Structure 1
């Protein structure tokens, strides 16, 4: 890009340059010949729909994935970033949406993680070691005690700690993934001020966000990704929000009002789950219903509040206000076990860390939710192994789970087969509602089709299925209706001919009316 008045740093030698970067997963191109330049002191935005390639690019820069083709250069010198430590040594820091902090450590110890410390007589001299952390805290205006445990800090304060850690590591570029997804308006403004101060001091910021208003206001340069390709690079003031949405989608959208009327009900379409005004965490006033035998999609961008809503529905997160009715009866689950006893189950987004016991067998993971029928005698907790394996084998065959044996550790299976094991777990007992969060993440296209068939079969048997996905194509193909969330609120509902990928994308970028009024 030639130097322009709109981009005064364009004449500077690039800090980071990516040329022809490509990465494929099976037959899918996650990155396809991407060229990207980041200059010192530049705030560079990355935008695009879910699955457009932004996260894959970040993972390649962070040393978490190895690109198939292309080069990455820092200060004009080609580099091979083989690990996160290698990225750190190059001055590249990455703050992911799931902040990688140790809750039990105080802010100082989190900011100094992995950094050399001053020692005396073989022990850490924390008084002198904390000096870099204190300097970083002063630089970004941290106004809380660095001795406070991270578990006691707000999300905004934890972001400050993560930024401080990057500065302690002498980062020259900090990548931030959806930094304001869970922040209030005042916290967002404070973070933006920190970003501007960082840029003014010469630190580059790679800013990934679905909030296009803040991207247009904050970023010097914006790179647009679509289907793994970088399709447009614009400078501040070159595009309006409508123009940026057009670049993300790939064609002009006809402005329409969000569809709010549900699909006409039939007598047998009784609501199995009725949600009214549900509020908690980032979720605000969520209202919708899930009908018996229906696959209802939950769409929206990363950080819209979909996972938090799912966790509240199954008792994993607290509910501040609102009502949930199951088969017409109001319920308030005390925990996940209580929800399961009522017939509401969740297949979590992070199946490996939250859903499966990886070192245990396929049979163990399938049977863990309901062991009463497997007991030797009803009043003792001992199960009959042959009975447990027989039930597991029946479900493995029914769901076509690819495994050598039900005794095989589930951690050795592919992502798609692990997902099937989690679904099989809830087929051991009668569920009124099954919630699947990112049901096809990390699943190959063949397994995805099989999982979709299982879901449709469950719906035909009367289970209400709530399917959360960042893949709009999947939502269109699988769901009867889709409820769309933005910034913690339900902003529309799509069904029938109105349920298209373009309409889903358009609604995902809608600013809720309450936010517009505040602005």
Structure 2
């Protein structure tokens, strides 16, 4: 029976649905910026509430207030019907709230087990920490996730994907009644994401309420029961997920229609275009084994693969962040063996890392400082010395060019939204003028509007002759590439034109279940692309 019917019939009592969380009239201001203004949300036990909005809409700020990491200027919070005050993360934990933040918030020097155990109540009667019990619980959680991370490995030695699993595991170590997940599948492929969805189903079946934040709108519609949309810190509306489709949800978020990812009509012919980078037998055990790769000038080359396939590790070898075990690299016809990322940048090779906050930015520095960092001198290259005034002028041009939302180029980067931080990471390497730009998960945590802008930047760079290597777990966005290679168990096992690189086909290649798998990826490139241009 609808609410309207209940109100029309005086004999029928309207019984409100029970809630495990209510945030009412929440407002928050940072300096002169209104991050949240009179926002209200409601979550029921056993349901998934998706928070959607563009970067800077206020989603993460709302969750940080709930987690006790920020304090609201106004508003009330009720947990299971009782008004509460959450002044610190410990308060949130005691109330049964658990969080997977977009920034992960792990301690790099601690082991995976130590990070998972943080905040978990596992002490003996004597007050001594029950280490055996914690390890046993951690193993049970990993079995539940279906993904094993070495518990005694330090987090700083783990891959970004492994760190995500540690963060997810830490949230499941606690007996929480409300779990907030901020971009939990950002670095996941379809199969890893499906595993998380199954965990969410288990949690909601047990009556746990889930707050879910994701820029992957298809998964929002798949996972969520209810959707609340924010825009510029204000509430746009709350909707039943069943009443939304991709188009309507996008319009609510952006305020206009946004075109999807279209296949790039390319002029690059790998059979004739000059080769910029050639990799032969590149190996660094245990993640990269005998990798072979050819990248042509002006080409956008996508790289697909499962978590742990070795994609990020290969990128680190290409920029000298890790030493090569064996194999050769040739850049623009000359031997290439960078000893550090600085060497790579001098040679015209740059990497936009997957983990922007810890690897791509100095959060306490200004927008201008971060944008000019990769150049290590005046970005205009007109002077051998660094000029703050000239750097600020170039930064203002870059802010306009890349659509970065900041009050000024002197604003601290840590105060910006995740999407604007990502644009700064991309922008600082574009300003360095690389001949090869490697992008590792370039649209992680980026809203649908900003994502389209980043795609435009990539296309423009390629049109100007820059070669692009784009690593992505979102197989649909690889449609902007000229071709896509697949990495599996440390080796590049397949190469297909992007027009044929569908999500299903790439997933099959990643798992090795495709009908045909090439033994020589380079040979497939030429044969397939030639056949595509000449169907006869």
Range into which the TM-score falls when normalised by the shorter chain = 0.5 to 0.7
Distance in 2 between residues matched to 1:260 and 1:472, nearest whole Å: 19
Matched, 1:441 2:421: yes
- The residue number in structure 1 matching 2:71 is 66
Cα 1:228–1:125 shift into 2, 3 Å: closer
- Select which of 236, 241, 246 maps to 1:241: 246
- The residue number in structure 2 matching 1:175 is 180
- The residue number in structure 1 matching 2:117 is 112
- Select which of 209, 214, 223 maps to 2:214: 209
- The residue number in structure 1 matching 2:153 is 149
Distance in 2 between residues matched to 1:455 and 1:161, nearest whole Å: 30
- The residue number in structure 2 matching 1:396 is 388
Matched, 1:13 2:13: no
- The residue number in structure 2 matching 1:411 is none
- The residue number in structure 1 matching 2:502 is 514
Residue 274 of structure 1 contacts residue 288 of structure 1 at CA under 8 Å; is this kept in 2? Answer: yes
- Select which of 64, 80, 85 maps to 1:80: 85
Distance in 2 between residues matched to 1:511 and 1:175, nearest whole Å: 37
Distance in 2 between residues matched to 1:194 and 1:472, nearest whole Å: 28
Distance in 2 between residues matched to 1:64 and 1:176, nearest whole Å: 15
Residue 45 of structure 1 contacts residue 222 of structure 1 at CA under 8 Å; is this kept in 2? Answer: yes
Distance in 1 between residues matched to 2:196 and 2:412, nearest whole Å: 37
Distance in 1 between residues matched to 2:500 and 2:52, nearest whole Å: 20
Residue 29 of structure 2 contacts residue 36 of structure 2 at CA under 8 Å; is this kept in 1? Answer: yes
TM-score where L is the length of structure 2 = 0.58
Using the TM superposition, give the Cα deviation of residue 121 of structure 1 relative to its aligned residue in structure 2, in angstroms. Answer: 7.4
Distance in 2 between residues matched to 1:369 and 1:253, nearest whole Å: 34
Distance in 2 between residues matched to 1:343 and 1:107, nearest whole Å: 36
Using the TM superposition, give the Cα deviation of residue 58 of structure 1 relative to its aligned residue in structure 2, in angstroms. Answer: 1.9
Using the TM superposition, give the Cα deviation of residue 196 of structure 1 relative to its aligned residue in structure 2, in angstroms. Answer: 0.4
Residue 19 of structure 2 contacts residue 80 of structure 2 at CA under 8 Å; is this kept in 1? Answer: yes
TM-score where L is the length of structure 1 = 0.59
Give the alignment of 1:49-448 within 5 angstroms: 49-102=54-107, 105=110, 107-119=112-124, 124-128=129-133, 130=135, 133=138, 140=144, 144=148, 147-149=151-153, 151=155, 159-253=164-258, 257-261=262-266, 314-316=319-321, 331=336, 333-344=338-349, 395-399=387-391, 416-417=409-410, 441=421
Distance in 2 between residues matched to 1:485 and 1:80, nearest whole Å: 43
Q: Deviations over 1:255-288 (max 9, x none)?
A: 784443479xxxxxx9997799x9x99xxx9978
Q: What secondary structure does 2:421 align onto?
A: coil
- The residue number in structure 2 matching 1:429 is none
Using the TM superposition, give the Cα deviation of residue 216 of structure 1 relative to its aligned residue in structure 2, in angstroms. Answer: 1.6
Using the TM superposition, give the Cα deviation of residue 222 of structure 1 relative to its aligned residue in structure 2, in angstroms. Answer: 1.9
Residue 93 of structure 2 contacts residue 119 of structure 2 at CA under 8 Å; is this kept in 1? Answer: no
Cα 1:355–1:117 shift into 2, 3 Å: same
Residue 40 of structure 1 contacts residue 204 of structure 1 at CA under 8 Å; is this kept in 2? Answer: yes
Cα 1:181–1:415 shift into 2, 3 Å: same
Tell me, which stretches of 5 or more residues in structure 2 are unaligned? Answer: 5-14, 378-383, 394-406, 463-469, 482-497, 509-536
Distance in 2 between residues matched to 1:97 and 1:113, nearest whole Å: 17
Cα 1:273–1:12 shift into 2, 3 Å: farther
